[in-house]
Structures are given as structure tokens and as C-alpha cells.
Amino acid sequence: MYFVVAFLGVLLVLMVLWDAFETIILPRRVARRLRLTALFYRSMWWPWSGLTQRLASGKQREKYLGLFGPLSLIFLLVFWAAGVSFGEPSDRNG
């Protein structure tokens, strides 16, 4: 059972690292169906834009929508770090 979990952990780490490579390094758009970054941004944008729709002022709404880009990049780095940390196989006896 340990080997199956270890294999899945290594697979998760490789998926996260490959996704980070495609997102940051590659100079072209990636046309793969399942991308962690795309899933991350889809799941983050929907609640963020929904919350800003409740704001009455257009200027205030634009200000909060403008914050999404920089904050989402920081959260994406945290998401990748958590994926690598979670996928790292731990000690068998620990």
C-alpha cells in the first residue's frame, strides 16, 4: 500500500512541477485539457467576481477586480507549494 501512495505522491509532485513549468517558462499557450493552473483560476475567479458584483460603486468594484491579478499569482505559488509539499512521500515509520 505504501508504494501505491508513494507513487501517487510522486505523480502529484511531477504534475505540479510540470504545470508550473508550462505556466512560467513556456513561451506559447498550452492546449491541454486538464491544467492545474486553469482549474485554480476558474475556481478562484468565480467567487471573487461574484463578491465584487455586490459592490455598489463602479470604482470600488474596479479596484477589487484589479487586485485579483497580483493576489491570484501569490495564491497560485502557494497552491503549487502546497501540492509539492502534500505530494512528497513521507517516511514509512513516521
Structure pTM?
0.79
Identify whether 62 is part of a domain: yes
Decide if pLDDT at 7 tops 60: yes
Cell 493576489 sits on residue? 71
Residue 20 lies in a domain: yes
Give the C-alpha separation, 16 to 66, whole Å. 27
d(CA 50, CA 41): 14
Is 93 contained in some domain?
A: no
Q: What's the structural domain count of the chain? A: 1
In this prediction, residue 91 has a pLDDT band, given cuts at 50, 70 and 90, of low
- Print the domain residue range for 26: 2-87
Percent of the chain with pLDDT over 70: 94
35 by Cβ neighbours in 10 Å (0-12 / 13-18 / 19+) ranks as middle
Per-residue pLDDT tens digits for 23-36: 888 877 777 777 88
Tell me which residue of 78, 72, 90, 87 sits closest to 15, measured CA to CA: 87
For residue 71, the model assigns a pLDDT of: 94
**Residue 92 lies inside a defined structural domain of this protein:** no
Secondary structure (3-state) at 88: coil
Domain assignment of residue 11, yes or no: yes
**Residue 75: inside a domain:** yes
Query: In this model, does residue 54 exceed pLDDT 60?
Result: yes
Work out the pLDDT band at 90, boundaries 50, 70, 90: low
pLDDT at residue 53 is higher than 90 = no
